Amino acid sequence: MQNILPRLYKEYGQYSNYRNFPLDLDGLKPVERRVLFSAFKIAKEKFAKSRQVDSYATGHFHPHGECYGSMVQLVRQGFLDGQGNFGSTIGQQTENPAATRYTEGKLNLHTVELAFKHIKYVPWVDTEFGDKEPFFLPTMYPVCLLGNDYTMGIGFGYKTFIPCYDIKDLHKRLLWLLGERKTKPTIAPITDCTITSPPAELEKLLTIGKAKIHVAGVVNENRVTNTVTLKSWPPGKKFETLLSKFSKEMDMGTIGYNDESTAATGTEIVFKVLRERNRDKIYKDFVSLLKESIKGTISFETTVVDTEQNVMVKPIDAMLLDTYKMFIRINEVMLNEEIKHTDQLINEYNTLEKIRDPLSNCISNKFSIDQTIHGISEITGVEEEMIKGLISKYLIQKLLTLNTDTTALHNKKEEFQNNLENISKFVLEQYNRI
């Protein structure tokens, strides 16, 4: 028993890490992938109650508890469209979302194009309920690098804090990595703060996967009215902690503040000098103290898991390239399947052309189809089972009138083959479109 426990503990740790960290191929934690896939199944064309999406995910794929928290985050990140109150992180206090029965979600077109266009060509695995789910989504970029909020996670001995970027910047970086762009773009994470670190630190994040990025919150000064508006502060710092640094000014009644944040304007916490005497000096000293208080450091560490559930710190560049290679492979599978399907249609059309005249004669002479299939097979050389299959697949009228010219199919097959031979160009065209 003592020998078994360490192994079980290790296995549980690996399983826990797999649930809490994004997969390197698509940049999604299992619960996020399951919520998106559930929305794809039941909320692609129209909005569905959040309770329905949550229940579908937990009932088919995710037996570890409700998924509404992940759904809320996906709405806030822009991967799902939402209706109703999904809460807010604007201003000094966060607002919780409404209950699942009061909100609705829908998979938006951008996410369909980004991650579901080739969904049927990915590997599928069994769920704990006996259903099937995609092993990963065929996304063009790691999803954790998109959106407007950083991905966090804590596992057994590891933690992750992954930055997100503008998709246009990721596209530029990928083109440079592929040799399609000469000038190296050093891209910066999305943030509502001002990045004060030099480009070399940003490069570490891209090439190593770990970096400490120095930032400063944003303030707007108005010396005429002796007010200063706080627009942002570094991630990880709470407003209450910042406010405690001004407790002396607050207690003395020299400074007051009002939270004027709205969805339209974003965070706007307005501080104002309340005392007339020495207003300019009080204002100057307070602004200096405020600016110093909203400086900070973001410690990024891009910890992910691979398909074997191994945990690793993976550079942004490597994530971009591996997801691109995965998308290449999925497109190869798709094109080969399309060629196979087109060949099947060409074969069916050619066979229909062979059997249509004798079949028409049989029908016009009021003979039973069942009685004449054998004769048609002898005349045409087509196996009886194939004739039966075609007759059951197509309505008789359609079978006799269908245009069996295969020119368009041959042209389509040639197009598929050409795309397969020039797969990099074909895939990059998809990247350029999105």
Active-site residues, by number, are 102
Give DSSP secondary structure letters for 185-211. Answer: P------SSEE-S-HHHHHHHHHTSEE
Token reading at 401: 């009138």
- Residue 185 CA to residue 203 CA, distance in Å, equals 10
Residue 22: name the closest of 307, 366, 377, 347 by CA.
307
- What are the helix and strand counts (H, E) for the chain? 16, 16
Please choose, from the candidates 325, 288, 287, the residue with its C-alpha nearest in 3D space to the C-alpha of residue 307.
325
Element housing 54 (H / E): helix 50-60
Q: How many CA atoms lie within 13 A of 317 on its CB side?
A: 17
Q: What share of the chain is helix, strand, coil (3-state, %, to 5)?
A: 50, 15, 35
- Asked if residues 104 and 50 have their Cβ atoms less than 8 Å apart, the reply is yes
Rounded to a whole number of angstroms, the distance between the first and last alpha carbons of the chain is: 55
**Locate tokens 């007010």: which residue?**
227
Distance between CA atoms of residues 119 and 338, nearest Å: 14
Q: Which residues of 143-158 are buried (b: 16+ CB within 10 A; e: fewer)?
A: bbbbbeebbebebeeb
Quick count: other Cβ atoms within 10 Å of Cβ 15?
Answer: 13
DSSP code string of 284-334: HHHHHHHHHHTEEEEEEE-EEE-TT--EEE--HHHHHHHHHHHHHHHHHHH
Task: Quickly count: other Cβ atoms within 10 Å of residue 388's Cβ.
Answer: 14
Strand, coil or helix: what is 217?
coil
Q: How far is CA 275 from CA 61, 86, 255, 268, 279, in A?
A: 60, 40, 8, 22, 6
